[in-house]
Chains A and B, each alone.
Chain A
Amino acid sequence: MKGRLWYWLLAIPYVGTLWVPFYAKLTPPLFGIPFFYWYQILWIVIGSLITGLVLLITRRQGDG
């Protein structure tokens, strides 16, 4: 993959957070927090990592 294709990685958080049927359930809980809630908090972190990754790659390629 090169150039602008990497930007498509930024679509992943949209799929992960907007496809509600995938996470609208209570189990398995984490530290007593139902799945619905910790799953979405986890996506904040994943989203941030993906954005950071795209930034690193595109700058290294001199495309950013």
Chain B
Amino acid sequence: MASAFAVFVFFVAAVTVLGFLAARWGSRNLHALEEWALAGRGFGTIVSWFLLGGDLYTAYTFIAVPALVYGAGAIGFFAVPYTTIAYPFVFLVMTRFWSVASRRGYVTLADFVRDRYGDRWLEIAVAVTGFLGAMPYIALQLTGMQVIFVQFGARTPLAQDLALFVAFALLAAYTYTSGLRAPALIAFVKDVLIYATIAAAMAIIPARLGGWAHVFSASAAALAAHTPPGGLLLPHGLYFAYASLAFGSSLSLFLYPHSITSLLSARSKLVIQRNAALLPLYSILLALLALLGFCALAAGVDVGKNASLAVPLLLRAMFPGWLLGVAYSAIVIGALVPAAIMAIGSANLFASNVLREFHRERPSGETRQAKVLCIGVLVVGLLLVFFMPVPYAINFQLLGGAWMLQVVPAAAIGLFTRWFEPRALLVGWAAGMVAATLMGIASGFKTTFALGGLVGYLGLYALALNLAVAMILTFLFNALRIARLDDATAAADYA
């Protein structure tokens, strides 16, 4: 463990230095919001690939997906189809968003909604949703780090909180100084470490467990003994749940503030299109990690009550010390990268869409405002970790995904048509938010809900209601000949 800790300290120190040095990378005027928050919209294919990979495939994902497989088996694998079909969506939909955003200088999704529909309340609704989606996600990244700190011997709550606070302070300091360039530069390190870890895990672990066939037969036996029992095979009753979870999650992934921030930092539409074809390499990584959940079952890793420990404990049992240090560094740095981007993305929403609405033009202090807000967002994330029990944070995050889906009509469909009436969209959004929350509470914070006997992703059910309400009200408002607000965007902006 001592060698693991030495390697870990080395990498964390290295990325901290990188984080501060990033301020000088292609250094321009860091006082402009587009420079601080979007790195001047200048990233090419390779930087964007690392940045988006580091941003979307987070430490929390790397712990939670195998944990779900470890706990329940087949259903946990839905993250794989989910991250497969997210990319056709990026290719078709998010490239249009990039075009209109770069043409008109948007920093957030809510900026687009304001211009498209001319409705301030709809803009704020989209901004608030993004914030609610990002907040628990940041908290869970910090929780993901904590899992590793515990492995390194932070046994008491005080020691854990202290370690987390140090990590948080470093994160906040370099994000404040360097903006998006910090996570972009650190993402290189994180991704190389993650790929190395997975390659080593695949070379070492299945062989030591007697091959994949044995891993799966041992897992099947272990899963059958769980309460409720899991399995290698998806039961009939969960087919729709599986597909709807994959589909629904794939729609919301790129609407999160941190996805938007990374997308908008791309230099051109072509950069995003290329990445829609290249980013799936990370999905393979995720799939292999999910398979490690089975390896943990086969190895008889004892996680107690906390399935999040499946992969950390498996690696600890299988890896030599220095390699374990690499793996644990990858997880912690894998939490630092997205946490920084999420904080920047959320701060942008506040600076650009909530505060700005009180005075009409871009205030001169907008960047400083965003930087301070960014620290504020991280502090709230830290407080959530300190004061909210982890199961609540997970529930909050699961609901957050369902909430994010509710901006699909205004933001994603809005990129193609302005047929919907903005106030109809607002009421539809509110209906979807309430419905998702109620279904979440009723199901005891599962992601699925049995609607008329059909078990499906509750976020997708809420989206169906949202769309139905928005359509009916649009017909109604049109029939009443209610005057439309202006569209500030032009067709050519989307090309």
Please provide the chain A residues from 14 to 46 with a CB less than 8 Å away from any CB of chain B in the complex. 14, 17-21, 24-26, 29, 31-34, 36-37, 40-41, 43-45
Q: Give bound CA distance, A26 to B294, whole Å.
A: 15
Give the residue of A31, A44, A64 whose beta carbon is less than 8 angstroms from that of B283.
A44
Known A-B contacts A47-B87, A48-B87; the reply to A21 vs B287 at CB < 8 A is no
Give the residue of B232, B242, B287 whose beta carbon is less than 8 angstroms from that of A34.
B232
Are the CB atoms of B91 and A55 closer together than 8 Å? yes
Which one of A7, A43, A48 has the highest number of Cβ atoms from chain B below 10 Å of its Cβ?
A48
Residues of chain A lying within 8 A (CB to CB) of residue B74: 24, 36
Q: Shortest CB–CB separation between residue A34 and chain B, in angstroms? A: 6
Q: Shortest CB–CB separation between residue A23 and chain B, in angstroms? A: 9
Q: Which residue of A lies closest to B290 (CB)?
A: A37
Interface size class of B (residues with CB under 8 A): 35 or more
Q: Give bound CA distance, A55 to B88, whole Å.
A: 11
Please provide the chain B residues from 346 to 393 with a CB less than 8 Å away from any CB of chain A in the complex. none
Q: Shortest CB–CB separation between residue A12 and chain B, in angstroms? A: 9
Are the CB atoms of A55 and B277 closer together than 8 Å? yes
Q: Shortest CB–CB separation between residue B433 and chain A, in angstroms? A: 25
Residues of chain A lying within 8 A (CB to CB) of residue B427: none
Q: Which of B53-61, B208-216, B464-472, B478-486 contacts A (4 or more CB under 8 A)?
A: B208-216
Which one of A13, A40, A45, A52 has the highest number of Cβ atoms from chain B below 10 Å of its Cβ?
A40
Q: Which residue of B lies closest to A33 (CB)?
A: B212
Q: Which residue of B lies closest to A14 (CB)?
A: B85
Task: Tally A-B pairs: CB < 8 A.
Answer: 106
Residues of chain A lying within 8 A (CB to CB) of residue B246: 17-18
Q: Give bound CA distance, A20 to B242, whole Å.
A: 8
Are the CB atoms of B281 and A36 closer together than 8 Å? no
Are the CB atoms of A40 and B216 closer together than 8 Å? no
Residues of chain B lying within 8 A (CB to CB) of residue A21: 239
Are the CB atoms of A7 and B92 closer together than 8 Å? yes
The answer to whether B413 has its CB under 8 Å from any CB of chain A is no
Q: Give bound CA distance, A29 to B93, whole Å.
A: 36
Q: Shortest CB–CB separation between residue B54 and chain A, in angstroms? A: 18
Q: Which of B76-84, B123-131, B168-176 contacts A (4 or more CB under 8 A)?
A: B76-84
Are the CB atoms of B281 and A48 closer together than 8 Å? yes
Please provide the chain B residues from 456 to 476 with a CB less than 8 Å away from any CB of chain A in the complex. none
Residues of chain A lying within 8 A (CB to CB) of residue B283: 44
The main secondary structure of chain B at its interface with chain A is helix
The answer to whether B273 has its CB under 8 Å from any CB of chain A is yes
The answer to whether B247 has its CB under 8 Å from any CB of chain A is yes
Q: Give bound CA distance, A1 to B384, whole Å.
A: 54
Please provide the chain B residues from 216 to 267 with a CB less than 8 Å away from any CB of chain A in the complex. 216, 232-234, 239-240, 242-243, 246-247
Residues of chain B lying within 8 A (CB to CB) of residue A13: 84-85, 88
Q: Shortest CB–CB separation between residue A40 and chain B, in angstroms? A: 5
Are the CB atoms of B232 and A44 closer together than 8 Å? no
Residues of chain A lying within 8 A (CB to CB) of residue B233: 24-26, 34, 36
Q: Which residue of B lies closest to A15 (CB)?
A: B85
Q: Give bound CA distance, A36 to B214, whole Å.
A: 16
Give the residue of A11, A18, A29, A50 whose beta carbon is less than 8 angstroms from that of B243.
A18
Are the CB atoms of B232 and A36 closer together than 8 Å? yes
Q: Shortest CB–CB separation between residue B449 and chain A, in angstroms? A: 18
Which one of A20, A26, A54 has the highest number of Cβ atoms from chain B below 10 Å of its Cβ?
A20
Q: Give bound CA distance, A17 to B283, whole Å.
A: 14
Q: Give bound CA distance, A62 to B483, whole Å.
A: 39
Are the CB atoms of B212 and A31 closer together than 8 Å? yes
Residues of chain B lying within 8 A (CB to CB) of residue A29: 212-213, 216
Q: Mark B79-123, 1 if CB is under 8 A from A, else 0.
A: 011011101100110000000000000000000000000000000
Are the CB atoms of A44 and B277 closer together than 8 Å? no
Known A-B contacts A26-B233, A41-B80, A45-B284; the reply to A33 vs B291 at CB < 8 A is yes
The answer to whether B321 has its CB under 8 Å from any CB of chain A is no
Q: Give bound CA distance, A50 to B269, whole Å.
A: 18
The answer to whether B278 has its CB under 8 Å from any CB of chain A is yes
The answer to whether A61 has its CB under 8 Å from any CB of chain B is no
Known A-B contacts A32-B211, A33-B212; the reply to A54 vs B91 at CB < 8 A is yes
Give the residue of A10, A40, A55 whose beta carbon is less than 8 angstroms from that of B81.
A40
Are the CB atoms of A44 and B287 closer together than 8 Å? yes
Q: Give bound CA distance, A13 to B250, whole Å.
A: 12
A-B contact sample (14 more), CB < 8 A, given A20-B243, A51-B87: A17-B84, A18-B246, A19-B243, A24-B234, A32-B213, A32-B214, A36-B233, A40-B77, A45-B284, A47-B85, A47-B280, A51-B277, A51-B280, A55-B274
CB pairs A–B below 8 angstroms (12 shown):
A7-B92, A13-B84, A17-B246, A19-B243, A24-B74, A37-B291, A41-B80, A44-B280, A48-B277, A49-B277, A51-B88, A51-B277
